[in-house]
Amino acid sequence: MAELLSAVHSSLELAAAAKIIDNAIALRREEGVLPLAVAVLDAGGNLVAFKREDGSGVLRYDIAFGKARAALSMGMSTRLIRDRLGSRVAFQAAVAAASDGRFIPVPGGVLILDKSGTAIGAVGISGDASDKDEYCAIEASPPSRTRSGATPGSESARALSAPRRPCGTRATAHRASS
The stretch 88-117 carries a mean pLDDT of 90
Work out the pLDDT band at 92, boundaries 50, 70, 90. confident
Provide the pLDDT for residue 169.
40
pLDDT value of residue 112: 94
Residue 45 pLDDT > 50, yes or no? yes
Query: Does residue 99 carry a pLDDT above 50?
Result: yes
pLDDT for residue 146 is more than 90: no
Q: How confident is the model at residue 34 (pLDDT cuts 50, 70, 90)?
A: very high
| Beta carbons within 8 Å of 7's beta carbon, 6+ residues apart | none
Q: Mean of the pLDDT values across residues 114-120?
A: 89
Specify which residues 67 forms β-bridges with: none
Q: What is the pLDDT of residue 31?
A: 93
pLDDT of 60 higher than 80: yes
Predicted local distance difference test score (pLDDT) of residue 96: 84
Of 162, 174, 150, 169, nearest to 83 (Cα)? Answer: 150
Residue range 98-113: mean pLDDT, rounded: 92
Given a cut of 60, whether residue 3 has pLDDT beyond it is yes
Q: Provide DSSP, the chain.
A: -PPPPPP---SS-HHHHHHHHHHHHHHHHHHTPPP-EEEEEETTS-EEEEEE-TT--TTHHHHHHHHHHHHHHHTS-HHHHHHHHTT-HHHHHHHHHHTTT----SS-EEEEE-TTS-EEEEEEEESS-HHHHHHHHHHHSPTT-B---PPTTSHHHHHHHSPP--TTS---------
> What is the average per-residue pLDDT within 40-48?
96
Radius of gyration of the chain (CA): 16
Mean pLDDT of 153-177: 39
Q: Please give the mean pLDDT across all residues of the chain.
A: 82
Q: In whole angstroms, what is the distance from residue 43 CA to residue 41 CA?
A: 7
Are residues 49 and 64 in contact, defined by beta-carbon separation less than 8 angstroms?
no
Average pLDDT (7-13) is 87
CATH topology of domain 14-161: Beta-Lactamase (3.30.450)
